[in-house]
Amino acid sequence: MQKLHLVMGGRVRDPQSLEFADLDKLDLVGVYQDYAAAEEVWRAHAQRTVDDAEMRYVIVHLHKLLQPDLPKRRRKVA
């Protein structure tokens, strides 16, 4: 199964929330084929705005939105 991830960010109304202040100004960075690729891009964008508490970048698990009924895979504990 393809697991798509969206990286996006923007200015939030409150640094403690994920309510974006202006949806027209969201930075839609891109869609990535796996979490590792999305995380790498997310880190780069988040690091650039680390000093601005009102800027927030997130990773959205698109595959969970597109196929919400799929059973969750359990991780093996070593």
How far lies 39's CA from each of 7, 13, 14, 34, in Å?
A: 8, 24, 23, 9
Which of the pair, 77 or 42, is modelled with greater confidence? Answer: 42
Name all domains of the chain by residue range, CATH numbers in brackets: 5-66 (3.30.70.2400)
Q: What pLDDT score does 73 carry?
A: 64
Which of the pair, 78 or 51, is modelled with greater confidence? Answer: 51
The dihedral over CA atoms of 62, 65, 68, 70, expressed in degrees to the nearest 10, equals -10
Which of the pair, 20 or 69, is modelled with greater confidence? Answer: 20
